[in-house]
């Protein structure tokens, strides 16, 4: 086929696609296959992935627990940027890919492999993130994407697996493609492909059934230090357990469901369904704390940076000068993002109900309508006069030259309207 390879390191999830990929790579490229399984907090799957990799012909089966690094170096930096792609998706899958790529490349270098492989299809964003990441970090490595190259459907894959006596978990036929990590769970395919029909309850696993959502609200307090969440209800927690606890507690109340028509990098629109309880709670909390401690102009400028940051991450450009520059700006804004945020979890929603910070810019004496106000209301008149000076002048000019805009007839010339005569 596409030339021989010596040794390929395959990103191995333990699922059907990547299990079939092991003998397929050996046959098509004549290469030895080493698998690498990265724990990014996926709940299901992992199980006996390592034994399965070896049973299916891997020369060696490597494993990395990358959860802590994922949280510290990818999720929390993105949280500081309130990352929500298209205002909606907290980028769970997108944030884990560059970390998996880093481990894949490191393993390939250590084991002197000449290529890496992944199980992405040719229609999604993940292939872009893998290919671009590898090409950036280690341009000498070839990237093999068996699923993109072979023409097998699920039935063909199962037949191929039987022929090669592979050890696979053929789960009861599921039409869904699922990807999980600490920051969320993505579900695609099957009836979800119709953006007009509501997702069936069966696709949700982290957010329980609505019948089971508690009838009473629950409060949770998140404590941030310089933009990083460090406490829940006053208890210090490391990043991974903090995210896990929030996924569990908010998920139990149905918080985290996302139904999004998303624009993929490859130009396709697709309906995407997610469960991201911790991510949505933390972004809401972090945003709310920032509204208390950041100035209006920084908030406004930062929101532009956040949007671009989210697109860069989505597009697979984590390892790029732009992402690093945006990150540097975001980091710089976080020095006062310290404080506590209270949220109420109830029936699918997480609502901020309080926030406090030693760096709060909210001055009671300025904002209060009470007697102790120090705000000089008499200064407002002059302020408003100058604040609107330029637009007022421009408007007057245009009116004088007979090209008024946005001026309804009624403002131009007030006249009596008889209620009896329709216009
Ligand atoms: N649409 C999301 C993204 O591009 C999720 C992709 C999930 N991947 C999967 N193999 N199911 O980030």
**Residues 178-200 pLDDT 10s:** 999 999 999 999 999 999 999 99
Backbone torsions φ then ψ of 242, nearest 5 degrees: -65, -45
**Cα distances (Å, whole numbers) of residue 367 to 29, 96, 223, 300, 382:** 70, 43, 25, 21, 19
Q: What is the pLDDT of residue 423?
A: 45
The residue whose CA has the least distance to atom 9 of ligand 1 is 179
Q: What is the pLDDT of residue 396?
A: 95
**Residue 417's pLDDT is what?**
55
Residues of the chain with pLDDT below 70 are 1-2, 44-45, 170-172, 404-423
Question: CA 392 to CA 238: how far, in whole Å?
Answer: 55
Q: Given strand 7-11, what is the order of strands in its sheet?
A: 60-65, 32-39, 7-11, 115-117, 142-144
Clarify whether 300 is annotated catalytic: no
Query: What is the C-alpha to C-alpha distance for residues 286 and 275, in angstroms, rounded to an integer?
Result: 19
Cβ(254)–Cβ(213) under 8 Å?
Answer: yes
Question: pTM of this prediction?
Answer: 0.93
Burial 59-72 (b: 16+ CB within 10 A, else e): bebbebebbebbbe
Q: What whole-number distance in Å separates Cα of residue 143 and Cα of residue 395?
A: 61
| C-alpha to C-alpha distance for 317 and 98, rounded to whole angstroms | 9
Which tens digits make up the pLDDT trace of 263-275?
999 999 999 999 9
Q: Give the integer Cα–Cα distance in Å for 385 and 394.
A: 14
Q: Which two structure tokens, joined as six digits, stand for 36?
A: 């690498």
Residues of the chain within CATH 3.90.1260.10 domain(s) are 181-365
Q: What is the number of the ligand 1 atom nearest to the C-alpha of 120? A: 10
Q: Ligand 1 in contact with 262 (CB < 6 A)?
A: yes
CA of 125 to the centre of ligand 1 (A): 7
Q: Are the C-beta atoms of residues 284 and 343 closer than 8 Å to each other?
A: yes
- Structurally, at CATH architecture level, domain 181-365 sits in Alpha-Beta Complex (3.90)
Q: What is the pLDDT of residue 2?
A: 61
- Atom of ligand 1 minimally distant from the CA of 93: 12
126 Cα nearest atom in ligand 1: 4
Which residue is associated with the tokens 């298209």?
Answer: 86
Residue intervals of the chain classified under CATH 3.40.50.620 are 7-175
Backbone CA torsion sign across 24, 25, 30, 34: negative
| 315 Cβ inside 6 Å of ligand 1 | no
Does residue 17 have an active-site annotation? yes
List the one residue out of 323, 84, 337, 85 whose CA is nearest residue 229.
337
Instruction: Check if the beta carbon of residue 201 is closer than 8 Å to that of residue 209.
Output: yes
Q: Which fold has domain 7-175?
A: Rossmann fold (3.40.50)
Atom of ligand 1 nearest to the CA of 262: 1
- Whether 94 is in the pocket of ligand 1, judged by its Cβ within 6 Å, is yes
Evaluate: CB of 131 within 6 angstroms of ligand 1: no
Task: Compute the mean pLDDT over every residue in the chain, rounded to the nearest whole number.
Answer: 93
**End-to-end Cα, the chain, rounded Å:** 76
Full 3-state SS string of 49-117: HHHHHHHCCCCEEEEEECHHHHHHHHHHHHHHCCCCECCCECCHHHHHHHHHHHHHHHHHHHCCCCEEE
Is the CB of residue 147 below 6 angstroms from any atom belonging to ligand 1?
no
């Amino acid at each position: 086929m596409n030339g021989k390879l010596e040794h390929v390191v395959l990103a191995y999830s333990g699922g059907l696609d990547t299990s079939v990929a092991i003998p397929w790579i050996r046959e098509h490229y004549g290469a030895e296959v080493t698998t690498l399984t990265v724990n990014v907090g996926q709940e299901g799957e992992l199980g006996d992935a390592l034994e399965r990799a070896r049973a299916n012909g891997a020369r060696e089966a490597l494993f990395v627990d990358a959860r802590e690094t994922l949280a510290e170096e990818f999720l929390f930096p993105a949280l500081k940027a309130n990352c929500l792609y298209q205002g909606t998706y907290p980028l769970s899958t997108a944030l884990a890919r560059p970390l998996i790529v880093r481990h894949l490349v490191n393993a390939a270098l250590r084991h002197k492999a000449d290529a890496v492989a992944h199980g992405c299809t040719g229609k999604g964003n993940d292939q872009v993130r893998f290919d671009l990441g590898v090409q950036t970090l280690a341009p000498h490595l070839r990237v093999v994407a068996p699923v993109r190259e072979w023409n097998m459907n699920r039935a063909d894959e199962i037949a191929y697996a039987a022929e090669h006596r592979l050890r696979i978990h053929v789960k009861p036929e599921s039409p869904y493609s699922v990807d999980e990590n600490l920051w969320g769970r993505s579900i695609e395919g099957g009836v979800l492909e119709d953006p007009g029909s509501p997702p069936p309850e069966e696709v949700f696993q982290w957010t329980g059934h609505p019948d089971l959502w508690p009838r009473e609200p629950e409060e949770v307090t998140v404590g941030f230090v310089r933009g990083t969440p460090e406490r829940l209800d006053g208890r210090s927690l490391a990043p991974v357990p903090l995210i896990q606890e929030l996924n569990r507690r908010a998920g139990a109340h149905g918080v985290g469901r996302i139904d999004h028509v998303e624009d993929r990098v490859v130009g396709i629109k697709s309906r995407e369904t997610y469960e991201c309880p911790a991510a949505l709670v933390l972004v809401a909390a972090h945003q709310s704390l920032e509204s208390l401690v950041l100035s209006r102009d920084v908030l406004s400028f930062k929101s532009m940076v956040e949007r671009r940051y989210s697109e860069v991450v989505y597009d697979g450009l984590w390892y790029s000068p732009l992402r690093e520059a945006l990150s540097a700006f975001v980091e710089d804004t976080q020095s006062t993002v310290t404080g506590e945020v209270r949220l109420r979890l109830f029936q699918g929603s997480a609502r901020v109900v309080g926030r406090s910070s030693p760096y709060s810019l909210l001055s009671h004496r300025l904002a209060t309508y009470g007697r102790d106000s120090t705000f000089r209301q008499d200064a407002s008149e002059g302020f408003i006069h100058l604040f609107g000076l330029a637009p007022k002048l421009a408007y007057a000019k245009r009116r004088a030259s007979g090209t008024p805009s946005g001026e309804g007839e009624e403002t131009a010339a007030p006249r009596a309207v008889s209620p009896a005569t329709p216009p």
